[in-house]
Amino acid sequence: MKIAFVSGLYPPAVIGGGEIVLQTLVEGIHSQGHEVLVLTTKEDGETDRSWLNGVPVIRVPIKNVYWHGRRERPGPLKRALWHAVDSSNIAMMSVAREILQQERPDVLNVHATEGWSAGVLKVGKSLGIPTVQVLHSSNFLCPNSNMFRNGHSCKTRCVSCAILRIRHRSMSEHADAVIGVSRFILDKHLSRGYFSKAKHQVAIHNARDLPIDSIVRTTKTDAEPDRRLRFGFIGTLTAAKGIELLIQEFLSLGDCPAELLVAGTGKPEYEARLMSRYANSRIRFLGYKKQTDFLPNVDVLVVPSLCDEALGMVVAEAFAFGIPVIASRRGGIPEMVDDGANGCLFEPDRSGELTTTMASFINGERDFTSMSRSAKASAHKYLDVESWVEMHMRVNQDLVATHGA
């Protein structure tokens, strides 16, 4: 079977976890003997074909006001113009059509429409190619992909989002199948009338291939029983990730035998403000760290997201190291955290609830050994890349087998 994958970005162009997840999936399918092809964008130049780990990748110069793979964030007017063009980028759709006509894949998998526009689904449909949309975020509903604004998670869509996404709902009707990386993100779209014509509507959690067997974890309970309990945060330093909520609630604990390790980067001015406003000997800002370097030195990971994340793979990564997770009841995260077993859930809108939860770990109210064991057991399905690839292939194979029936 030949599968063409479409994504606005693909490694080495990476701005989030979605690109890494897609690469793992593509290479996993390729390793099973299937023919694969990736269509993605680049900043400028000519369209070119290269190979990454044996996978052919066609990179097309974006036809918009800027390339979204850059780290620098343009001003609001330029972003609005970009999204207006992207809502129905006829030029990029034309390029996609030409490539797909030449390549003639058996099935089309669309992951991130940004850069190509949601109209790429219509292109696949018009060429008679069975088409799958994989939802990694709320991008079909919100240009920011997370429905978060002014420090709060949006309960309904704002006017600007509704305008800039006016075509996405109709474009979603061209998908023959839709896969959500969580039940939450899938239902969020289906409940709003998106992808109503998709014959297959399934949720498949992501998986990661982590080299954890060779890593030794140092916990408070073994090598250093008298040291402070280490709470950890790893991720992008933004308001939507809840980093300030975490710091504020941690400081509310007062002088206690615990410290907070913060790994990650954000806008320089925001980072500087965090480090200045919350300077404290028990809070350490470590900058960028790889998960495999950071997590082995953490006792409890905190994922305080204020926005509705589709799925928090950092939770699975912590579980892989046997680390319990304290996480907000937001998005797809509660599908991963079994409250009281492999971690704890808290409501971020309730002041003090996170403080109380952290205190329960410090005071020994939690059975840390049992929670660590449960976390480790919970990691298995998120590390089983082979089974994850098989689930995606099953959807593709069923779709091809029934296409036109």
Cis (ω within 30 of 0) for the bond into 12? Answer: yes
Say yes or no: do domains 2-207+384-402 and 229-382 share a fold. yes
Q: What is the pLDDT of residue 151?
A: 75
Q: What is the pLDDT of residue 174?
A: 97
Residue 333 CA to residue 107 CA, distance in Å, equals: 30
Please, are residues 178 and 195 in contact by the beta-carbon 8 Å criterion? Answer: yes
**Per-residue pLDDT tens digits for 86-144:** 989 999 999 999 999 999 999 999 999 999 999 999 999 999 999 999 999 989 998 88
Q: Whole-prediction pTM value?
A: 0.92
Residue 164: pLDDT band (50, 70, 90) is confident
Nearest to 365 by CA among 344, 388, 394, 384: 344
The torsion angles phi and psi of 313, rounded to 5 degrees, stand at: -65, -20
User: Which three-class secondary structure state does DSSP give residue 17?
Assistant: helix
Residue 223 has pLDDT above 70, yes or no: no
Q: What is the pLDDT of residue 142?
A: 87
Residue scoring higher pLDDT (154 or 222): 154
User: Residue 286: enclosing H or E segment and its boundaries?
Assistant: strand 283-287
- The CATH architecture to which 229-382 belongs is 3-Layer(aba) Sandwich (3.40)
Domain assignments of the chain as residue spans, ordered by start: 2-207+384-402, 229-382
Share of the chain above pLDDT 90, in %: 81
Nearest to 58 by CA among 83, 37, 84: 37
The torsion angles phi and psi of 78, rounded to 5 degrees, stand at: -65, -40
Mean pLDDT of the chain: 92
Kindly state the DSSP code that residue 228 receives in the 8-state scheme. Answer: P
| E strand segments, 55-195 | 55-61, 107-112, 131-135, 148-149, 152-153, 177-180
Kindly state the DSSP code that residue 339 receives in the 8-state scheme. Answer: B
CA 174 to the chain's CA centroid: 24
User: Tell me, what amino acid is at 91?
Assistant: A
Share of the chain above pLDDT 70, in %: 96
2-207+384-402 belongs to which CATH class?
alpha beta
Q: Are strands 325-328 and 229-234 parallel, antiparallel or unpaired?
A: unpaired
Residue 30: pLDDT band (50, 70, 90) is very high
**Per-residue pLDDT tens digits for 55-96:** 999 999 999 999 999 878 889 899 989 999 998 999 999 999
Strand arrangement, sheet containing 35-42: 48-52, 55-61, 35-42, 2-7, 107-112, 131-135, 177-180, 200-203
